[in-house]
Each structure stands twice: as C-alpha cells, then as structure tokens.
Structure 1
C-alpha cells in the first residue's frame, strides 16, 4: 500500500471533498492545484509480469508530502493552536519517516478527536480485535521500548472500518 492508496482510502472514509483536500495540503504548507490533487488520486492502468496490475498513480506522493497533508488535516479539523507559534515562525527539520502507517494513525486520532476506545470500535467494524496495549504500541514514538510498527493490513482495515463507522454514526 502506497501513500496514494492511503490518501484515496482516507478521503473515502472521512468523506473529504476536493476543496477540503486542497485546503488541507495548503494548511500543511504544501499547496497543490486541483489538477495535481486529481492526479494524486488517479490510477494508471499498467500491466506487469503475469498480467498483475500494480498500483501506479499519475502523481506519486512521498512520505513528507503525505505528512504535510496530515498536518493540514489536523489544522482543518481542529484549527490552529492558540498558545503555540505558527510553523512559519519556527523552522522544522526535515526528518525521514519510516513508519507512515503509525504517523497516519496518530494524526487521525488527533484530527478526529478519537480515543483508544474509538479506535478499537473502528477495528471492531471490520472484525479485527487488537488489544489496547497493541493500539498504544502503534501510537508510541519510534525508538521507545514498546513501539510496534503498524502494518499495511492493520491500516487497510482501519481505514475501511473508519468509513463504516462514520457512515453508521450519521
């Protein structure tokens, strides 16, 4: 699963419109045009060895761009923090992101104001039952003793469950 897949699934799960998608990228300090946003969500049909199709998109998203989108999504959902200076005032170091699924889970928890019980309920929608400790391990900072990488299987199921959970809530 690549970042374009994550963005496409997340967009469906939380019912994110084109304008909100573009606004989230702007707030994350990585502005995109409407055409670029569409290219990020449009698959190219390519046949590979053995007639297997591969997930190739018109415009690929790297981890830093996806992280900027998630930061913008937090600002879009919750607004800017009042007691902290804006990111324009404080330069940030560009760091390599190894476990983007963990980052996605953490930032969605913040943006959607979820608790661990909400995350467990979302996983239960797709009949996957991780423990609270396992969820806590996914949310820990990389390098901590109990950190556990969140795999693609968990993230696919989480995004699918989030879509079901959000539609059931309404």
Structure 2
C-alpha cells in the first residue's frame, strides 16, 4: 500500500497533536492560504473508486500534491523554529525541491523538531525499525549523490508511528 501526501499529513498531525487552527497557520507560513474548511478537506483520506469498487461522488476531498506538501513542511519549520532572516543573495522564500516525498518528510521534520540523527534512529527503533547511521545519512543526501537512497514508505510510516509514540505516549 502506497502512502500518499494526505495520509502523511493526517499521520503527522496526529503524531504531533497539531490543532486545526495550527494547521491553517502552518500552511500560511509555507505560502499556501487555506481556510480551516479546506484544511479539513486535505485531512481526509482519498477514496479511490478502484479501491471501493463503487461510484463515488465528489466528497470534497482536496488532494495534497507535492508542492502543497512541501509548502506545509516549510511552514512547519517556520512554525516550530521561527522565521529565519535570509542570508545575502538568498531568496526570502525557500525554493521547492520536489525530491522524493518520504526523504523530504524526514529531512524537514528533523529540522523543525531539532532532532539529531540519534533521535531519528531512536524514533524508528520505537516502531521496531532498525537503521544504521550510514543508512540514515544516505536518506539525507541530495538526490543525485552517489550514496543517495530513497526513503521507502515503510520507513516513512514507521517514522510517523515512532513520532506518535514519542510525542503522544
């Protein structure tokens, strides 16, 4: 089963106990102006016709594309750590990278929550996933680097599960 951006947002929101009003603010900080009602429509699971094998009317679900997802993560960093003044020659708004979504999730949440590699390994181990520091480092490499590795859905799901264990008990 593939994990989609909407599902990741739902799981992240649950794991970190983010309120609806905070979700609206985080999207706004990331450059996306969504109302509370729109955020709630993003935070619903998509019901694919093939999975249900029935005709589904438009249920108001808003799919979260990669641009929206990355904007949320950038806003989450600002929400948790405050706005950073751009360095000379740097644009004020972070450029969107559109790299593999799961890698992006781990990188940006690590930054937002000020987690170390050891923290990430501990979070994954709490969800019964064992990863070496070298394997984790490969996930954080820039796409195209010879040691870059794509973070699979299994790691992303278990990372979110581990966050829930750590932050919700």
* Same fold per superposition (TM over 0.5): yes
Tell me whether 1:35 sits opposite 2:37 in the alignment. Answer: yes
Please identify, of 60-69 and 36-45, the stretch whose mean Cα deviation from structure 2 is larger.
Answer: 36-45
In the alignment, which of 82, 86, 89 is matched to residue 79 of structure 1? 82
Higher relative contact order (CA 8 A, sep 6+): 2
Please state if 1:155 is matched with 2:156.
Answer: yes
Query: Which sections of structure 2, spanning at least 5 residues, go unmatched?
Result: none
Unaligned runs of 5+ in 1: none
After alignment, is 76-85 or 125-134 more displaced?
76-85
- Is residue 2:64 matched to residue 1:61? yes
CA RMSD of aligned residues (A): 2.4
The two structures have a TM-score, normalised by structure 1, of 0.86
DSSP-derived class of the 1:141 partner: coil
Q: How far apart, in 2, do the equivalents of 1:46 and 1:61 lie?
A: 14
- How many aligned positions are there? 162
1:57–1:104 distance in 2 versus 1, CA, 3 Å: farther
Deviation digits for residues 113-170 of structure 1, max 9, x if unmatched? 00000001101111110100011011111111110000111100100011001123xx
Measured at CA, do residues 90 and 124 of structure 1 come closer, stay the same or move farther in structure 2, by a change above 3 Å? closer
